[in-house]
Amino acid sequence: MAALNIVLYEPEIPANTGNIGRTCVATGTRLHLIEPLGFRLNEKEIRRAGMDYWKDLDVTTYINYQDFLDKNPGAKIYMATTKAPNVYTEVSYEPDCYIMFGKESAGIPEEILVNHQDTAIRIPMIGDIRSLNLGNSVAVVLYEALRQNNFENMNLEGHLKKFKWE
């Protein structure tokens, strides 16, 4: 079974990474963390944001971006950045693609982006807003990729405990 992949390049805020980890568990998505991290993975903020889901997370860490590339040869990588020419809904996400997000304070470095201009994507915003929160950005793009892949293996219907929908 193919699984989407979220890549965080040098994340700085533990609560963001914890929330993203919880989203990954809920969607069957793999999480990849490229060091250096702005926190330790055993910090209380990660556990609080990820709740009791962190133990179920498929997470891999890499010592740097080159280590990530070496261990994932041929990976199709979409780069989420405010500098992108493409809106995130204008591309077709493969079932096993990688979607990379940069660190909260600076995004993905331009020396990386220049090699991925054709797969750089952006979330539209108005005015001079610098960016959305990292956890929100991941959720927006990830759920579009999941939608395009028909929410494979996900629960598509909820049920009330006491009542039935009419």
- Provide the β-strand partners of residue 100: 7, 79
- Whole-angstrom distance, CA of residue 141 vs CA of residue 143: 6
> E strands within the chain?
5-9, 30-34, 59-62, 77-80, 86-87, 98-101, 120-122
Angle in degrees, 0-180, between the axes of helices 134-148 and 14-27, rounded to the nearest 10: 20
Which residue type sits at 155?
N
The answer to whether 50 is annotated as binding is no
**H/E segment holding residue 153:** none
C-alpha distances in angstroms, 146 versus 33, 34, 59, 114? 20, 23, 19, 26
The answer to whether 92 is annotated as binding is no
Binding residues for S-adenosyl-L-methionine: 102, 123, 131
Which residue positions form the known binding site? 102, 123, 131
